Amino acid sequence: MKAVCEALGLARSHIHNLKHRPASWSDGRKARVLDDSELVAEVRQQLVELPSYGYRRACALVNRQRVATGRARVNAKRVYRVMAAHKLLLPRAPRRRHSSRPHSGQVGVEASDMRWCSDGFEIRCDSGQVVTATFAKDCCDREVMAWRAWVGKGLPGEPVRDMLIEAVEKRFGTVDAIPAQHALEFLSDNGGAYIAHDTRQIARALGLTPIRTPVCSPQSKA
């Protein structure tokens, strides 16, 4: 038996299960018949007030109600199949348009203080705490000119704005030392801390030109 299984590439445990199945066994995937009327009613009830919910959130709400009443939970795939059959799924989001700006994927520049970049990240410590940090870095010499870190999740705009002020003071002496004709880009993603009105206003007041990387651009992956 071992040699046959090895030759056919089959697991002996699987062959053993096939051989010792009871005569009354049937494939549940083919013989299963489900009445989805009750589930459809539950899903519709959850979507009455919030029709923008997708199938995963609808499934979570249905399961929450079922657990509270002592009933069995339902699988998310079944909820998807039921919602698709009754046209309850949300329409697919339109395909994101690519930016008309040329994107070569090159973030680095030939000289310092021509383009800065920034990002935020989280670090989970051994103690269970989460530390969030953000930094401002020159895209030429790779120097991290300023950074902020704190305990907790979330990247608010205030530490980003303070960090930009510190970076400008470190490179140009004071916040008013950037020449008016000097072009200095500030590259970031579309996070709320960077696209906030106060952040962009302070960046422009400091002499920076905020630039956001579109999701589909090579720069967002560089």
Question: What is the pLDDT at residue 106?
Answer: 72
Compute CA distances 130 → 36, 96, 214, whole Å.
Answer: 43, 33, 28
Task: Give CA angle at 82 (25, 75), nearest 5°.
Answer: 60
Report the chain's mean pLDDT, rounded to a whole number.
85
Q: Is the pLDDT of residue 208 over 70?
A: yes
> What is the mean pLDDT of the segment spanning 112-129?
91
**pLDDT, tens only, 159-186:** 999 999 999 999 988 877 777 788 889 9
Contact 53, 46 (CB under 8 A): yes
Question: What is the pLDDT at residue 163?
Answer: 94
Burial 158-186 (b: 16+ CB within 10 A, else e): ebbbebbebbbbebbeebeebeeeeebeb
Identify each DSSP E strand in the chain by its residue range. 115-124, 130-138, 144-151, 184-188, 208-212
CA 16 to chain centre: 44
Q: Is the pLDDT of residue 218 over 70?
A: no
Question: What is the pLDDT at residue 220?
Answer: 47
Six token digits for residue 94: 């339109």
* Least confident among 32-41, 101-110, 116-125, 189-198: 101-110
Model confidence at 83, pLDDT cuts 50, 70, 90, reads very high
> What is the mean pLDDT of the segment spanning 58-75?
93
Residue extent(s) of CATH 3.30.420.10 domains in the chain: 115-221
Contact 101, 185 (CB under 8 A): no
Model confidence at 8, pLDDT cuts 50, 70, 90, reads confident
Question: What is the pLDDT at residue 222?
Answer: 44
Give the residue, 212 or 220, on which the prediction is more confident.
212
Question: What is the pLDDT at residue 79?
Answer: 93
Dist CA 132 CA 120 (whole Å): 7
Which residue is listed with tokens 């009830």?
Answer: 45
Q: Is the pLDDT of residue 221 over 50?
A: no
> What is the mean pLDDT of the segment spanning 81-95?
88
> What is the mean pLDDT of the segment spanning 4-33?
82
Its CATH architecture, for the domain 115-221, is 2-Layer Sandwich (3.30)
**pLDDT, tens only, 20-49:** 888 888 777 776 667 889 999 999 999 887
Helix (H) or strand (E) holding 54: none
